Amino acid sequence: MRSRFDEQLYQLNNKLIEMAELVEHSITTAVEALLTQNVELANSVIEDERLSDKKEEEIESLCLKLLTRYHPLASDLRAISSALKMITDMERIGDQARDIAEISQYLSGKQFIKQPEDIAKMAEAAKKMLKESIEAFVKRDLKLARKVMKHDDVVDDLFKQIKKDLIKLIQENHENGEQALDLLMIAKYFERIGDHAVNIAEWVIFMITGRHKTEPGA
């Protein structure tokens, strides 16, 4: 019985990695669609989002099977419940990548008021956080989970700089306003992606320590 349970826990880890890779690819493609103003790439992000939704359903089904069939205790129970929380955050990351792609479609063919270099940096930082938060889960690595949480400052600082630059462009020319708001919204989505990666890291910490930040004294 235990060997079968361990086998399915291993399968759960693999499925989480697969879902993380899907949403990471969505982030990469969404920002590339923005930078190159490629509508076809933007469209592919929407298809990726459907695939990540399907993967979420598979993981949820496996978690519920593990809970009802084996009635796990202690650390195993925390691992499964954490996985259920994590896939919610990953699904939302996929949604936000799709939202970025949709704005990129709208911006296609228009001259940028400011090259979105800092937005690309935000995307890389957010992808790093997502990848390392999942790695922390698989390796049960408390130090790496905490590193992810600290790295959120990089994403937040980039967002503040982008916001400052776009406000300045609006002040210089009010005709920049519409595109500035679109670019600011994209930056905001990447900030939220970073926040979701932090949420995942927090659930990894809960899985390892048994304590979540919402608890007194955590």
The C-alpha atoms of residue 25 and residue 78 are separated, in whole angstroms, by 28
Q: Output the CA angle 37-40-41, nearest 5 degrees.
A: 70
Compute how many other C-beta atoms are within 10 angstroms of the C-beta atom of residue 166.
21
Q: How many angstroms separate the Cα of 68 from the Cα of each of 13, 16, 61, 135?
A: 18, 20, 11, 27
Does 2-209 carry CATH code 1.20.58.220?
Answer: yes
Domain extent listing, the chain: 2-209
**Is 80 exceeded by the pLDDT of residue 26?**
yes
Average pLDDT over residues 125-141: 93
Q: DSSP H helical segments within the chain, as ranges?
A: 2-36, 39-70, 74-107, 117-139, 142-172, 177-209
Q: Residue 30 — pLDDT band, cuts 50, 70, 90?
A: very high
**Is 80 exceeded by the pLDDT of residue 213?**
no
**Contact status, residue 83 vs residue 138, Cβ threshold 8 Å:** no
The pLDDT of residue 215 is 53
The C-alpha atoms of residue 218 and residue 146 are separated, in whole angstroms, by 13
pLDDT, tens digit, 9 for 90 and up, residues 92-127: 999 999 999 999 999 998 999 999 999 999 999 999
The pLDDT of residue 91 is 95
Q: DSSP H helical segments within 108-176, as ranges?
A: 117-139, 142-172
Residue 139 CA from chain centroid, whole number: 19
**Is 80 exceeded by the pLDDT of residue 15?**
yes
The C-alpha atoms of residue 143 and residue 147 are separated, in whole angstroms, by 6
The pLDDT of residue 179 is 96
Phi-psi region of 74 (alpha: psi -120 to 50; beta: other; left: phi over 0): left
The pLDDT of residue 75 is 85
Q: Output the CA angle 214-147-194, nearest 5 degrees.
A: 70
Compute how many other C-beta atoms are within 10 angstroms of the C-beta atom of residue 76.
17
For 127-155, give one letter per residue: b (16+ CB within 10 A) or e: bbbbbbbbbbbeeebeebbebbbebbebb
